[in-house]
Structure 1
Amino acid sequence: MLAYTCAELIGGNGFIAAFCAGLTLGRIASKSVLQKLYEFGEAEGQLLTLITFLLYGAVMVFPSLSEATWQTWLYAVCSLTVVRMLGVAISTSSLKLQLDTILFIGWFGPRGIASIVYGLLIVEKENLQGSELMFSTMVVTVLISVFAHGLTAFPGANWYANRISNKEHIHETMPEMKPVEEMPVRLPWRE
């Protein structure tokens, strides 16, 4: 937070400053300190996500709905289905995942919190042509996503679990079944 604030005060990019600060801390901190920071970051991240969605629902939705056209709604639906699924399929093509996994990740994958942050960055720019349209499109897209993904989360997770469990004969060869570390760190630890 300090790196972000300092960078913004001098006209720099707060996100890049926060990333660099985290990268530096990860290089010099011990494993026990990093584990505590990881746990704190998870809890804090969840809290900030909830607050962001609370403010999104309370402040942004109704003004943007009044400006939304049928084209905005159509683009939002296409963005959450075709564009998102295609992007996930392309970005995971080298992983050789099962079609079920690609569909599941494509539907439930990237979350709307980044869209809200980027939308706020658009609003911050004063002379950006079409910023109102971009912002209202983002709001409508996230709104549809909240309902669509929220309502399909339980049945979608059950569908995916059933589809994967039916493929027990190939479990060992499926990239989806490779064990992963809880917190993969690519830098050497310093004790």
Structure 2
Amino acid sequence: MTSAPSDRTRVRRMNKRAHYDEATIHPILDAQPMCTVGYVFNGSPVVTPTLQWREGHHIYWHGSSASRMLETCEDADVCVNVTIFDGMVMARSAFNHSCNYRSVMAFGKAFKVTDVAEKEARLKTFTDTLWPGRWDMLRKMTQKELKATTILGLELSEVSAKVRTGPPGDDEEDYALPIWAGVVPIGYRFGPLIDDPRLLPGVTAPDHAKNFKFG
């Protein structure tokens, strides 16, 4: 499904990199849990990093019920950005240096998930999206914990992606220069697990911890 860009989501600079289709947007959101939420607090612009997850045509993020960001964003206009940094693009001129990336920007009015059963279901999806099967291994959330947690959502109705891939785009005459050019790939490195020193004897890491990855 491809949606027409709104005035806020239309990419004007380097618009050849713009995408407005779910087939491009959804995989970027699914590949990167870290996002930034932009909003206005007491008349000033604020950007807060947090974790997001997608369910269908919505994204969600959560935090403490005492969170300034969550309280401010409820029923307010927000801008959510997700970016994956894939590489440094080194050209034969400083002007043509760039980077490879995949990014999504979504606008809209954030809404609060108020139903307790729905809130728990959303948190289960969030947990199992990162670590499949983990929710059912864990101690059940208490009503106090659920009350202390706020979840906000945003419909993906006003959203765009911007993507750059490939080698440098040098001026044609610069290709004759004896200067190295290319791409320095960038990715996540996941190190060996570090056990909690208070693990009970015989408790070992599950596969969803050993094989954890995203990006």
Please state which structure has a larger fraction of its residues in strand.
2
Whether these two folds match at TM > 0.5 is no
Provide the TM-score with structure 2 as the length reference.
Answer: 0.24
